[in-house]
Structure 1
Amino acid sequence: MLVNIGRESLERGFEDDGTEIEYCPPSGCTQAVAFLRERGGEFAELARDSDPDVRLAAIGGLGLFLDDADLAAAVLRELLAAEQGIAARLRTVETAATLALRLPAASHQMMDWLTGLAADPAQGPVTRLAALVQRARCVPDEIGEDVVPAAVGLLRETVRALPVRPIAPAPSHPAATDTVAPQIVAAFADLDRHTRVYAPTTALLRTFHEALGARLPERTAVLTEQLSSPDPGSRLDAVRMSGELMRTWRGDHTRLLLLVAAQLTTADEEVSAEAAAVLESCHPIAAPAREALAAHIDAQRAAHGPDVWAAPKGHLRSSHQEGVRALARLGDTRAVPSLLAALDSDADAWRAIQVAGHLPQAAEELVPRLGDHLRRVDLSQQWTEMSANAILAALAALGDPAAVPRVVDTLDAAVRHEQHGVTQSALQALGAFGPAGVVALDTIRSLTTATDAHVRPAAVAALWAVGEDLAEVMPLLLGLLDDPITFRISDAADLLGEIGPPASVALPRLRGLLAHDYEWVRVHCAAALWEIGGESEVPAVLEALLQAMIQNPATANHVVACLDRMGPLAAPALPLLREQLALPRRGGRFQSIGHDEELQRMVRTLIARLDPPAPSAPAPRTT
């Protein structure tokens, strides 16, 4: 506990070079670290304790808190010579790197020691691999071409040296109840699943991947070796690391996607389930795995029957469900039979509902079932909000007007039970149906004066989508532009931009809002200015958009979408667009894989339009 408190305090209270961060309160981080460093010598004593668990717990304190570099180095050498357990040896080598990074006086001797350990054939492959990785952690900019091949070779030896063990069963989790939504139960189960580690070298390999950073070919080579391990726990951790790499870094991940997809057919159902879950989470780039996913779920249905979605074996059920969800998010109708089985049986139906909106080709089969599920949601219970919202979002995405009566009934019930979140979702769904939702016009109109922060702008948007009465909507939108709640201003600006030139009365207020202190408001208002005012607004719009994108890169998707609509007039943005495309890490809204892939696509398209390659010169004629 003390080591963890100290490590957390160091991360929060000090820069990498040991200087104190100004915002850290003196009574918190800095005092904790000072207290522990005053007692650094005690960690040296505890690291020599006769109890192996005490030694293991204390080793990390040598690197974090002991300021006597020579004493710390001596204890670490002594420990490595005496310890036989893998965990203690890994912790000792890790602590040597921590000491080298923290104390300049220890850096040279610890780095030399790590170099020697990595090359010493008398050491076991686990220790040599640890020394190689930890040295790379100390000087990531100096990782040479020989480091990754050496690490892969040592990893191969390590696999042969360590016993193959079955994956330890995960603890069981409570089921959903009448007061706890199944989505909440699943979220906590996922948190537990993601914090579990199955192989002793996983933390070490995570460190290696962090040191390699944007070197994607090298990291893929390491993961290829990890994924070929005979140990199922090592492969499970490698599948998870593969997902983290693809969700964090840009690049061509086709090879890694196929390697993960190959794990779908493993006999270890937990590994298969994890592979399917990773492909589902990486669905915006998972197209190369489409056929493997389809074959996987078809084979499961053939082997276990059409009800495999609700299989009693947890890992089999999870593997099938995640595979179906990944295929559905790719818009592949081969996922439909399992989704229909889920909706008909009500077994984990919420998982099917979350992805149903990606399959408009199957709307005729999906919409009646989704409507039936929506009818059965009891909106007198607050915990049902998540379920209702998910169904409404799916119906809106499918876009079948046959769903309108059920959505209207849900809107009425949500208003009656003061379920504001469901009211907002129902209004958004009706807006997606457009004039087909006219039967709800009176209810929508009454909600344009609602006091709930989210309901009012959603009602105004639905009023325009359903009624298309500019005279009725404009006063409401102008009122929202004066609202102190920033997202209401942004919502109003978006709708004004959708209306376009007929909303020109809003131009003065939108121009004034370009001086707003919140960059998101400026982005939405600038986009609306362009849509309404056109070319005459370009200088102010460009300045607002580009400044916001520099200030807050999360606005990039919105900014680039507007620049794309501006066409050649967006040419001054070219340098910033090229900078954006050159970034190795994923960006855009929430830095999510979906938003980032969309951002990259838009930026490439826009650059090609604004700066097309020069035509090649014709070849000289010969006689």
Structure 2
Amino acid sequence: MFTGIDEVDWASLHHAYGSAEDVPGWLRGLASADAAERQTALDGMYGTVHHEGNVYDSTLACVPFLCSLAGREAVQDRGCIVELLVSIGAESGDARAREVVRADSEVFVSLLGDPDPGVRRAAAEAVVRFLDGPARALDLLRQRIPVERDDRVLLALTEALGLLARRHPEHSAAALDLLTAQSAPPHAPGLRLAALGQLALGAPDLLPADLVPTAVRLLRDRSARRARVPEPSGHDTLVGRIRRLRPSDEEGAQLLRTLHTALGDRTGDRIALLTGQLTSPDPMDRCNAVCMSAALFRGWRADCAGPVALIGAQLDTEQDRLRDAAVSVLAELFGLAAPAADDLHALVTARPDLWTHRWERGSPALGGPLKALARTGDRRAVPVLAQVLAGPVVPGGLGHEIAHLGPAAVPLAPALRHHLARVPLDSPTADALATPLLAALRAVGDRHAVPEVLRLLSGAPDGLGARERLVGPAIETLDALGAAAQAAPVLRELLHTRHAAAAAGALWSAGDGLSAVLPVLLRELTQGEPGSRRLAARQLGRLGPAARAALPELRRAARSGQAWERTSAACALWHIGRDPEPVLPVFRAAWSENPRTRGPIARCLAAMGPAAAPLRDLVTTELTAPRRHTAREGGYGSHDIAEDDALLRTCGEVLAGL
């Protein structure tokens, strides 16, 4: 297995964290008889040699030894080794890695008939990806399917057929014929679901007309046959809660996830499929549906009121996994979670122990049910939040959630002021404690909080510490409350710091003249950091026609820099000069270049009224687009859905004003 391993100069090779001299130990660990040692070795391979899917010279050097390990029946957990090889050669996208794995691809042929079903399952994809000649790969799959008896391996073979059909269109007809046969009786419901998912990905025209009812029926038939898995137990740790949020039936989740992915923009079918899942008698099916709904709501604009109400119905359960998953999804929806508000309120009322949560380490956080209820804007959250604020410690980020309640949260203002006044300014967490409270005070418009806000500015250093990071939010709060005049002396001192643009804007609101404010904003516009330049442009726009002297610099800023900077400058150009000619081309380019600029652009277009007519096509297309402008690969922000909904509302205002 390890012939020649000591002849490799591992010390001269590299992985994610430097020299690869530790790699031979991990390779040998994969062949250990001790399960813990094998797991540690596999973690080491994924964590360094194939860190985040990357390929290094040490990764390539490992491939022959990994292939040798995969072919030895005496080695345990070889399915994991084959999966690692597939990841190295396929997911990385590295051409060198693909060729190195392909050089040893014959090992995968023998593994299709391996005694270990985990090995056979992983080998199915490997044969399609790396074997020379798709016709041969298709024949191997065709021969294996009739003799395979393990359901999970059959699912992998079905997925491999779909992959082959998509990768090699010239051989797709035969693969699709096999998938069509597998999607019909007498095959088991799980296998039929898998085949339908692969047909949806590669040949949607071959799908049955009653796809959704068929898929729901097959799901329920499969669930009725599946053995029940007990709820996980253990301490209430962060890791434990994350595990509860993962699907308890990962295989079923993958089957339906494939179908949802294939349906893509067909949101009507996806909503119907979710509805069928969420009304299943099996709680695992409902839990999988809740988890999958997050991706739909996050990425697509759809009428989700029905599924949201069904997700709310999952809160009345004793199953922690299902309830936690439902709460997690509802907390992402903000106002869209309104159909579940009654269920959220019922849970909050019945379970005071869920109002806050403290991990084994760290400060308390607002509990998910109360957070989700507050984010809907439901005023029934206010009395409960008042009880939480009555405690000695404010849960982290609580003020940000209160801000979603707007004026309804006015009764909470005294408690917010109380806690703000007690933030220790010399604490390294002063900004984390005070910034959310400031957000809440801005939302409720509490002018009585001015003394507490001024305390944050008094003697604030011009550095990068926690207290200094409070200066910007404090200025914003004073400005929003119309109380900047009371802080004018301190604000003038800040005109020579990194907060100059914010201070200048607040001073303009307080009545300081143009001669005191304009030079500062022009300096920040031309010499400041990117964030300061954008803020300076926004503040110049607030000055309106009085800032006409800034038009030449703003025109230059609108022609260069990143999309955000050009957008900010173009918005200021309109508010000052009221000339759409230099503004609209900037908006059109930035709209496509960086979708995140669409919110401020739309707000400016709404203010422009009929002058925005040349960009009607952008707004109309946005309103009819099925996908959210915030949808992106590899992650999302917790406020993405709210941001997209705000954009749609503003686009409607733009059209109404044309």
TM-score by length of 1: 0.83
For residues 76-119 of structure 1, the C-alpha deviation after alignment (integer angstroms, 9 at most, x for no partner) is: 34554454444333222112211222234542222111111111
One-letter code aligned to 1:155: L
Are 2:597 and 1:552 aligned? no
Are 2:491 and 1:449 aligned? no
Is 2:501–2:536's contact at 8 Å kept on the other side of the alignment?
yes
State how many pairs are aligned.
567
Of the candidates 188, 193, 199, which is equivalent to residue 124 of structure 1?
188
Q: Distance in 1 between matches of 2:267 and 2:615?
A: 29
Of the candidates 348, 373, 383, which is equivalent to residue 419 of structure 2?
373
Is 2:500–2:520's contact at 8 Å kept on the other side of the alignment?
no
Q: Distance in 1 between matches of 2:358 and 2:596?
A: 42
Is 1:294–1:334's contact at 8 Å kept on the other side of the alignment?
yes
Pair 1:171–1:81, CA change in 2 (3 A)? farther
Of the candidates 262, 273, 282, which is equivalent to residue 222 of structure 1?
273
What is residue 617 of structure 1 aligned with on the other side? none
Deviation at 1:466, TM superposition (A): 4.0
Deviation at 1:607, TM superposition (A): 2.1
What is residue 440 of structure 2 aligned with on the other side? 394
Could you say which structure has the higher helix fraction?
A: 1
Pair 1:81–1:142, CA change in 2 (3 A)? closer
Q: Distance in 2 between matches of 1:116 and 1:171?
A: 47
SS in 2 for 1:345: coil
Deviation at 1:437, TM superposition (A): 4.0
Are 2:617 and 1:571 aligned? no
Pair 1:44–1:540, CA change in 2 (3 A)? same
Q: Distance in 1 between matches of 2:462 and 2:421?
A: 15
Pair 1:84–1:278, CA change in 2 (3 A)? same
One-letter code aligned to 1:245: L
Pair 1:320–1:524, CA change in 2 (3 A)? closer
Of the candidates 496, 516, 527, which is equivalent to residue 472 of structure 1?
516
Which structure 2 residue ranges, 5 or more long, are not aligned? 1-80
Are 2:333 and 1:282 aligned? yes
Q: Distance in 2 between matches of 1:346 and 1:262?
A: 34
What is residue 382 of structure 1 aligned with on the other side? 428
Deviation at 1:144, TM superposition (A): 5.3
Q: Distance in 1 between matches of 2:204 and 2:392?
A: 51
Are 2:323 and 1:258 aligned? no
Pair 1:45–1:468, CA change in 2 (3 A)? farther
Q: Distance in 1 between matches of 2:443 and 2:408?
A: 12
What is residue 23 of structure 1 aligned with on the other side? none
Pair 1:358–1:484, CA change in 2 (3 A)? closer
What is residue 108 of structure 1 aligned with on the other side? 173
One-letter code aligned to 1:268: Q
One-letter code aligned to 1:239: V
Pair 1:255–1:103, CA change in 2 (3 A)? same
Pair 1:351–1:551, CA change in 2 (3 A)? closer
What is residue 22 of structure 1 aligned with on the other side? none
Are 2:291 and 1:240 aligned? yes
**More divergent stretch after superposition (254-263 vs 374-383):** 374-383
What is residue 179 of structure 1 aligned with on the other side? none
Is 2:491–2:503's contact at 8 Å kept on the other side of the alignment?
yes
Deviation at 1:312, TM superposition (A): 9.4
Pair 1:145–1:384, CA change in 2 (3 A)? farther
**More divergent stretch after superposition (236-245 vs 75-84):** 75-84
Quick one: percent identity of the two aligned structures? Answer: 35
Pair 1:383–1:278, CA change in 2 (3 A)? same
Are 2:546 and 1:502 aligned? yes
Q: Distance in 1 between matches of 2:234 and 2:397?
A: 21
What is residue 598 of structure 1 aligned with on the other side? 646
What is residue 66 of structure 2 aligned with on the other side? none
- CA-atom RMSD in angstroms: 3.0
Pair 1:222–1:362, CA change in 2 (3 A)? closer
Is 1:133–1:207's contact at 8 Å kept on the other side of the alignment?
yes
Is 2:114–2:120's contact at 8 Å kept on the other side of the alignment?
yes
One-letter code aligned to 2:541: G
Pair 1:491–1:308, CA change in 2 (3 A)? closer
What is residue 166 of structure 1 aligned with on the other side? 230
For residues 430-468 of structure 1, the C-alpha deviation after alignment (integer angstroms, 9 at most, x for no partner) is: 22222x243433222222212x4xx33333333334454
What is residue 19 of structure 1 aligned with on the other side? none
Pair 1:367–1:189, CA change in 2 (3 A)? farther
Pair 1:161–1:190, CA change in 2 (3 A)? closer
Which structure 1 residue ranges, 5 or more long, are not aligned? 14-28, 175-187, 611-623
What is residue 536 of structure 2 aligned with on the other side? 492
Q: Distance in 2 between matches of 1:376 and 1:79?
A: 70
Are 2:525 and 1:481 aligned? yes
One-letter code aligned to 2:458: D
**More divergent stretch after superposition (487-496 vs 142-151):** 142-151
Of the candidates 224, 247, 255, which is equivalent to residue 204 of structure 1?
255
Q: Distance in 2 between matches of 1:312 and 1:459?
A: 38
Taking the TM superposition and a 5 Å limit, the aligned residue runs for 1:315-394 are 321-346=367-392, 349-350=395-396, 352-361=398-407, 363-394=409-440
Q: Distance in 1 between matches of 2:205 and 2:424?
A: 58
Q: Distance in 1 between matches of 2:409 and 2:214?
A: 53
What is residue 136 of structure 1 aligned with on the other side? 200
TM-score by length of 2: 0.79
One-letter code aligned to 2:372: A
One-letter code aligned to 1:507: L
Pair 1:192–1:159, CA change in 2 (3 A)? closer
Are 2:597 and 1:539 aligned? no
Is 1:97–1:138's contact at 8 Å kept on the other side of the alignment?
yes
SS in 2 for 1:463: helix
Q: Distance in 2 between matches of 1:56 and 1:354?
A: 47
Pair 1:362–1:154, CA change in 2 (3 A)? closer
What is residue 613 of structure 1 aligned with on the other side? none
Is 2:234–2:240's contact at 8 Å kept on the other side of the alignment?
no
Are 2:544 and 1:518 aligned? no
Is 1:273–1:319's contact at 8 Å kept on the other side of the alignment?
no
**More divergent stretch after superposition (594-603 vs 481-490):** 481-490
Q: Distance in 2 between matches of 1:124 and 1:391?
A: 56
SS in 1 for 2:232: coil
Deviation at 1:194, TM superposition (A): 5.6
SS in 2 for 1:282: helix
Pair 1:226–1:556, CA change in 2 (3 A)? same
SS in 2 for 1:442: helix
SS in 1 for 2:560: coil
Is 2:128–2:163's contact at 8 Å kept on the other side of the alignment?
yes
Is 1:526–1:545's contact at 8 Å kept on the other side of the alignment?
yes
SS in 1 for 2:581: helix
For residues 188-217 of structure 1, the C-alpha deviation after alignment (integer angstroms, 9 at most, x for no partner) is: 888766655544210121111010011112
**More divergent stretch after superposition (455-464 vs 279-288):** 455-464
Is 2:317–2:323's contact at 8 Å kept on the other side of the alignment?
yes
Pair 1:395–1:348, CA change in 2 (3 A)? closer
Is 1:7–1:64's contact at 8 Å kept on the other side of the alignment?
no
One-letter code aligned to 2:547: A
Q: Distance in 1 between matches of 2:535 and 2:642?
A: 22
For residues 481-535 of structure 1, the C-alpha deviation after alignment (integer angstroms, 9 at most, x for no partner) is: 112533322211111111211112212222222221422222211111111112x
**More divergent stretch after superposition (406-415 vs 323-332):** 406-415
What is residue 585 of structure 1 aligned with on the other side? 627
Taking the TM superposition and a 5 Å limit, the aligned residue runs for 1:422-441 are 422-434=470-482, 436-441=483-488
SS in 2 for 1:500: helix
